[in-house]
Structure 1
Amino acid sequence: MQVSGAEINRLLLYGTLIFLIMPTVLVVFMVFYQRRIHAHRQAQAAQEAQHQRDKLLVKLEAEENTRKRIASDLHDNIGQVMSLAALTLSAVDLSQPEKATNKIETVYLLITRSIHELRQLARLISATEILHGGLQQAIAKELEWVRDSKVLAVRYDSPAAPPPEISHEQAILLFRSFQELLGNAIKHAQASAISVQLHHTPQQLAIYVEDNGIGFHPPVDASSGGMGLPAIRERMNQLEGDFTIHSTPGNGTYACLKCPIR
């Protein structure tokens, strides 16, 4: 079978066209592919930037809530107690020694309570300094203070091996959440005993707090309600962790803080 000159010319033309078009197709494909990669990287960078902005906003909001709580504690708790102490002192009649003694004893109790509140507040503010020895030691020191005050019987279980290292920011947020739970047991639960457990795996750090107090009906969503639960939820959200609380009236309260280790 013979191939005509026209067919040969046609084949050469097709081959030439393919030879000329293929580089253009490859260039167009590479440009399109590079643009897709660039757009993907830009989307990732924007997503990461948004994530960092969200973390910063949560952090700032948590700090603002801490400042509000300090102001509230100073005004609502310490301020009111000291005002009551001043009013009681102003009513002391030294011509009636027995009544005066009773009023002075009341003032003494009110001042003692204010000192206790101030110490709790100081511990909240100075969490950074307390955590220099690590979270495990900080919890032990906090419970030692409670044990020495004879407010509650304290049990603390922690592993012999130190927990995996977490960032200083994570430690502060966890410790402040633990302080909140401990403060609730002291101020609201009317408990006589509290149990704290520190547990860790290579992937997670957990703090369990249980008291034998009067209990309460916790809100369905721990981001609502009183007793510092919203603040704890905010901190644990910032840690991308988990906060659960279980309680019923008359049966004490059980709470758990879980933080992923990255």
Structure 2
Amino acid sequence: MIVRCFGLLALTLLTACGSRIYDQSKPGEFTGSLLVMWVEGGGGEPGDGKFVYVPDLDRQGRALTFRRGAQTDGREVHIETIEPRLMYTDGGSVPRLVQPVKGLNPWGYAPAYMVHDWLFAANRCVNAKDANTDEAKVDGVTFRESFEIMAEMLKTLETQNPVAGSDVQPSAITWAVSSGISKRLWEDDTCPDPRIREDHEKQIKARLGIGVAGQQKSVRIAGENVPPARVVQVIEF
């Protein structure tokens, strides 16, 4: 009963706080292919386990890419095209407290969450002054811009590729990724080295047989003496 009451209260507050940003956002365009793989178990709680976004290519040779819509309200734009690279993902840095709410779970809006996670992963390495060429492309992006981009992506998904119904409005999700919890994650300067553990990379290759930078179409291979990772999400635009 307490959980249910919290859910109703949270829904009301989230929708109210995020509506302005979402309403002012303009849709962009998603292209390419999304592939998420499970490489390690967790404790059974929402968001547990190790998941990896793999920049696989679609039939037209395109990895997942988001191109922002035209911005006509005078806001400063530091990045226009975002192409996530190989990374661990938790589903958009959605605070665990609200993950059980349908629509705020890690995979409810997977394409938007992958791009959002990449912004955070790359920014951590920018903060640590250890960014590679791909990560350095987010240098200058502000925290506010990160959740404005999320609002744009949610609006894009609602128009370009309608998603399943949820218990919350996209404006509520916008609020969730603009919270103080998310801001602390944005300011983190923990840049992993290597970006992906060797054993997890081997699992991905065993399943897909690709260079992990996503330079060729996925093809299963044989002969790898490692347990293959499991595919948990595939979307093509």
Return the TM-score normalized by structure 1: 0.24
Structure (1 or 2) with the greater helix fraction: 1
Q: Which has the higher contact order (CA 8 A, sep 6+)?
A: 2
Higher Cα radius of gyration = 1
